[in-house]
Structure 1
Amino acid sequence: MSAPRPADRSGDTVLDGFRAVPGVHCETTMLGNMLRHAGVEISEALVFGLGQGIDAQFFPPPPHAPVPPMLTGRVGPGLITEQACAALGIGLITLRESDDAGAHAQAVAALSVGRVVGVTVDIFHLDYFASRTHFSAHCLALHGLDDSTAYVVDTTQQGGAQQLPLASFARARASDEGFMPSPRLHWHLDGGPAPPVGSGVDLAPRIWPAVQGAAARFLDRGRGDDRGIAALRRAAGELPGWRRLPHGEAVIPEIARFWRFAGTGGTNFRGLYAEFLAEAHTLTGDTDLLPSVTAFTEIVAAWTGLIDHLGGHADAPERSAHLKEAAARLHALADAEEAAFTRLLDLSRDREGTV
């Protein structure tokens, strides 16, 4: 880990030797950069898999509000970071301040001892972000602050390494608007030595507990009808009625674009999980993982087909039938995901010797 380089103004710090590596998803990009600067080199897919990031969450539209339903393909914000660090045996510090001055001081303190800082922000206030929608569950890796600029890493889609005016960064960090706000929330790795993670010998024993935890959670219907497999079933059941939402005909293609590009849709996370399972096969040498790699690769293709179909809603000759077809595709996806996770749960329990 490189030493910090003090900036011109006392109390501000920019990490020397930091190497920005953008990724597919914001939280795994954030944590990957935190780990890498601490000397832990693992892929984004392994961060996601060890963090048990795969899931489904359904957020129905509020009554009488022009807000579309949201179906995400991952666990809640912050859980990947917490669970991946726990799986890797790395200490994680979580901090939250009530005002901007305190949050700035926290970030400077972590940077001054050579730690990359994970930050949640509202994309509405990010100067380089094209979206004009409030979404406050976005994550950045902060690697420097000076008297005018915050130096951050975002996803590849958002340009990777970015420089933000300090005022914009402060507004984004403090926002309490949009989806799942968490104003002035910071994470950084603790000051202990990082374990020697990175080889198959180190990572292989950590694979099966992570697979088992994710599969058991996804299949658990006791969490309600808005989480896991039940969330997919509920969304599929309600999808034919989305035309009746406020501005429904215009909203449906927007939902498709969200699933494709926003990072919280089904296809991105299923793709990351397929990559994780492929790496897990390499690390463990367990050929019984290969059917699961194939299954999730096919699931990604099915999600892509559903998104293409839903995105063509405006041009469909019979829109009601078009949505019913989309619902049937989502039901079929739920079937495929339930079968894939059931296989993984059985396999991981066998390898772990649990029931």
Structure 2
Amino acid sequence: MHLATFQPQLGVHCETTTLRNMIHHAGVDISEPMLFGLGQGIDFQYWDAPDPGRSTPMLTGRIGPALLSRNACSALGVELRESRAPDPESARAAAAKLLEAGHVVGMSVDIFYLDYFSSRSHFAAHYIALYGLDDSLAYVVDTDQQGGAQTIPEESLRRARGSDEGFMPSPNLQMYVEELPARLTTATDAVLREQIWKAIRPTAERMIADRGPRFGIGALRRAASEIAEWSDTLTSADEMVPGVGRFWRFAGTGGANFRKLYRDFLLEARQRCGDAELDPFVDDFGDVQRQWDQAIEMLMAYRGADDGRRQLEAVAARLNAIADAEQSVFERLLVPATKWAGEPA
């Protein structure tokens, strides 16, 4: 079972890559940054370490899994279907049926069981797009960093899809998109222009809201305060601190990756809408992205630093500066968003 006309679409983040492949195969080419922006994907989230002192908290730069796809599909008028099978056999049968019906199948998986991943850690909030199955092999698309289109043993896919280990597992979760609305296929540009400001406004409102110590700017400031103490509180700081930097840079959950996606979304929005009001925000997010990259570089250089504590204090200062910058840019972005979204403040 293979989708004969399927053409893999590459991307930098797993869920937006998966969503793009599903929508592209259904008949419309929408960029990954546009899907990320319409999906209101940017955020910062703090999840407590499972073993404090022996592990670090999970610090992510986006909203929760599947929420992005739901938001983007809602904005586009696309019906997103999600289901969770009770066991691996039922999940396999459901996927096969969807492939036979011509759908690309999105799946939540644990990277530990994917043969092409070098990581030996369990992380179950990863997404891939399935476009073929045979007796022993599965054909999937992952991010560009993970090689794009991949062929893996079906047993590996079964384990990855059914895992209940790692961060935010969703065993045997699958999704696909129904036939696209006619207007989206015939007037794609018009649909996107109509939805851009409508997606920016709730994103900005959420990012400047006080959502406690686990979400948004407050979570970022909490992370900054705790990172400054990691040299004293972590039992293996020389290993774990650079590991956080590598994870942020290469695993797709880091701030710089998602800030670049949001900058590229605003840039595409500027080009589509012809709205010069977006110009300063494109520049602002470019600066935010650079600051995230600097913080990551400092984390990755921790082991070789002359003074580890001072190095982490510098990281904390950079993260607090990022928090200030993001607070400011979203407060200012909310002003034109409120005007152009066509809704009362």
TM bucket (normalised to shorter chain) is: over 0.9
Equivalent positions of 1:259-278 (< 5 A) are: 259-278=248-267
The CA deviation at 1:246 is 2.6
The alpha carbon displacement at 1:65 in A equals 5.9
2:76–2:184 contact (8 Å) kept in structure 1: no
Could you tell me which amino acid in structure 1 is paired with residue 327 of structure 2? E
**1:216 aligns with one of 198, 202, 205:** 205
Q: CA deviation at 1:250?
A: 1.8
Match of 1:131 in 2: 119
In 2, Cα distance between the equivalents of 1:117 and 1:199? 23
Q: What is the rounded CA distance, in whole Å, between the counterparts of 1:32 and 1:62 in structure 2?
A: 33
Alignment of 1:313-328 (within 5 A): 313-328=302-317
C-alpha contact 2:26 2:179 (8 A) present in aligned 1? no
1:122 and 2:103 matched: no
Aligned length: 342
1:190 has 2:178 as partner: yes
> Gapped runs of 5+ residues in structure 2?
none
Q: CA deviation at 1:177?
A: 0.4
| Residue equivalent to 2:56 | 68
Cα pair distance change 1:190/1:321, threshold 3 Å: same
% identical aligned pairs:
49
Partner of 1:203: 192
- 1:57 is aligned, of 45, 49, 72, to 45
The equivalent of 2:299 in structure 1 is 310
Equivalent residue letter for 2:302:
H
Residue of structure 2 equivalent to 1:8: none
Secondary structure, aligned partner of 2:146: coil
Indicate which of 145, 169, 184 corresponds to 1:181. Answer: 169
Alpha-carbon contact 1:20-1:161 (below 8 Å) kept: yes
Q: CA separation of 1:111/1:65 partners in 2, compared to 1, >3 Å: closer, same or farther?
A: farther
Please report the TM-score for the alignment, with normalisation by the length of structure 2.
0.96
Give the one of 74, 79, 102 matched to 1:91.
79
Matches within 5 A, 1:206-355: 206-221=195-210, 223-243=211-231, 244-353=233-342, 354-355=344-345
Which residue in the other structure is 1:158 paired with?
A: 146
* Partner Cα distance (2:2, 2:156) in 1: 18
Structure 1 residue 68 displacement after superposition: 1.1
Does the alignment pair 1:47 with 2:35?
A: yes
Preserved CA contact (<8 Å) 1:89 1:195: no
Q: What do residues 254-306 of structure 1 show as CA deviations (whole Å, max 9, x unaligned)?
A: 11111111100000000000000000111111100010000000111111111
Q: What's the RMSD between the two structures over aligned residues?
A: 1.3
The answer to whether the 8 Å contact 1:90/1:194 transfers is: no
1:248: Cα distance to partner?
A: 2.1
Deviation string for 1:58-94 (max 9, x for gaps)? Answer: 1232354622122111001111111100000000110
Distance apart, 1:110 and its partner CA: 1.1
- Unpaired runs of 5+ residues, structure 1, are 1-12
1:23-50 deviation per Cα after TM superposition (whole angstroms, max 9, x unaligned):
1000000000000000011100001000
Residue identity opposite 1:34 in structure 2: M
Pick from 94, 103, 111 the counterpart of residue 106 of structure 1: 94
Q: Distance in 2 between matches of 1:54 and 1:130?
A: 27
Matches of 1:42 and 1:352, distance apart in 2: 21
Q: Amino acid of the residue matched to residue 166 of structure 2?
A: G
Q: Distance in 1 between matches of 2:308 and 2:241?
A: 11
Q: AA paired with 2:217?
A: I
